[in-house]
Structure 1
Amino acid sequence: MAETYPWQAELWQQLAGRKQHAHAYLLHGPQGIGKRALAERLMALLLCQNPQGLQACGQCKSCMLLAAGSHPDNYVLEPEEADKAIKVDQVRDLVNFVVQTAQLGGRKVVLVEPAESMNINAANALLKSLEEPSGNTVLLLVSHQHSRLLPTIKSRCVQQACPLPGQAQSLQWLATALPDCDEQERLELLTLAAGSPLVAVSLQAQGVREQRATVVEGVKKLLKQQVSPSQLAESWNAIPLLLLFDWFCDWSSLVLRYQLTQDEEGLGLSDMRKVVQYLAQKSGQDKVLGIQDWILAQRQKVLAKANLNRVLLLEALLVSWSALPGQR
Structure 2
Amino acid sequence: MADVYPWQTGLWQQLAGRSQHAHAYLLHGPAGIGKRALAERLMARLLCLSPNGLDACGNCKSCHLLAAGTHPDNFVLEPEEADKPIKVDQVRELVEFVVQTAQLGGRKVVLLEPTEAMNLNAANALLKSLEEPSGNTVLLLISHQPSRLLPTIKSRCVQQACPLPGQAVSLEWLATALPEMSAEERDELLALAAGSPLAALRLQEQGVREQRAQAVDGVKKLLKQQIAPSQLAEGWKALPLKLLFDWFCDWVQLILRYQLTQDEAGLGLADMRKVVQYMADKTPQAQVLAMQSWLLEQRQKVIGKANLNPVLLLEALLVQWAALPTGDRR
* 1:37 matched residue in structure 2: 37
Give CA-to-partner distance per residue, 1:221-245, whole Å, 9 cap, x none. 1111222212211221221111111
* 2:307 matched residue in structure 1: 307
**Alignment coverage as a number of residue pairs:** 328
Alignment of 1:181-196 (within 5 A): 181-196=181-196
Instruction: Give SS of 1:140's match.
Output: strand
In structure 2, C-alpha distance between the alignment counterparts of 1:231 and 1:127, rounded to whole Å: 48
CA contact (8 A) 2:26 2:160 kept: yes
CA contact (8 A) 1:127 1:152 kept: yes
| Structure 2 residue 46 is matched with structure 1 residue 46 | yes
| Structure 2 residue 227 is matched with structure 1 residue 227 | yes
Q: Which runs of 4+ in 1 moved over 4 A?
A: none
CA deviation after TM superposition for structure 1 residue 3, in Å: 4.9
In structure 1, C-alpha distance between the alignment counterparts of 2:310 and 2:92, rounded to whole Å: 37
* 1:141 matched residue in structure 2: 141
In structure 2, C-alpha distance between the alignment counterparts of 1:90 and 1:225, rounded to whole Å: 50
Question: What amino acid is aligned across from residue 211 of structure 1 in structure 2?
Answer: Q
* 2:325 matched residue in structure 1: 325
Give CA-to-partner distance per residue, 1:163-184, whole Å, 9 cap, x none. 2110100000000111121111
CA contact (8 A) 2:86 2:118 kept: yes
In structure 1, C-alpha distance between the alignment counterparts of 2:278 and 2:47, rounded to whole Å: 58
Question: What amino acid is aligned across from residue 224 of structure 2 in structure 1?
Answer: K
In structure 2, C-alpha distance between the alignment counterparts of 1:125 and 1:3, rounded to whole Å: 35
* 2:104 matched residue in structure 1: 104
| Structure 2 residue 121 is matched with structure 1 residue 121 | yes
Question: What amino acid is aligned across from residue 257 of structure 1 in structure 2?
Answer: R
The worse-fitting range, judged by mean Cα deviation, of 256-265 and 309-318 is 309-318
Identity value in percent: 79
CA contact (8 A) 2:25 2:159 kept: yes
* 1:294 matched residue in structure 2: 294
Unaligned runs of 5+ in 2: none
CA contact (8 A) 1:108 1:138 kept: yes
* 1:171 matched residue in structure 2: 171
| Structure 2 residue 208 is matched with structure 1 residue 208 | yes
Instruction: Give SS of 1:12's match.
Output: helix
In structure 2, C-alpha distance between the alignment counterparts of 1:148 and 1:165, rounded to whole Å: 23
CA contact (8 A) 1:78 1:114 kept: yes
Instruction: Give SS of 1:180's match.
Output: coil
In structure 1, C-alpha distance between the alignment counterparts of 2:279 and 2:88, rounded to whole Å: 48
* 1:55 matched residue in structure 2: 55
Question: What amino acid is aligned across from residue 103 of structure 2 in structure 1?
Answer: Q
* 1:14 matched residue in structure 2: 14
CA contact (8 A) 1:75 1:109 kept: yes
Question: What amino acid is aligned across from residue 156 of structure 2 in structure 1?
Answer: R
Question: What do you get for the CA RMSD once the two structures are aligned?
Answer: 1.2
* 2:276 matched residue in structure 1: 276
In structure 1, C-alpha distance between the alignment counterparts of 2:64 and 2:225, rounded to whole Å: 63
In structure 1, C-alpha distance between the alignment counterparts of 2:77 and 2:230, rounded to whole Å: 43
CA contact (8 A) 1:2 1:38 kept: no
Question: What amino acid is aligned across from residue 243 of structure 1 in structure 2?
Answer: L
CA contact (8 A) 1:112 1:140 kept: yes
TM-score, normalised by the number of residues in structure 1 = 0.97
Instruction: Give SS of 1:59's match.
Output: coil
**Closer, same or farther: CA 269–5 of 1 in aligned 2, 3 Å:** same
CA contact (8 A) 1:259 1:280 kept: yes
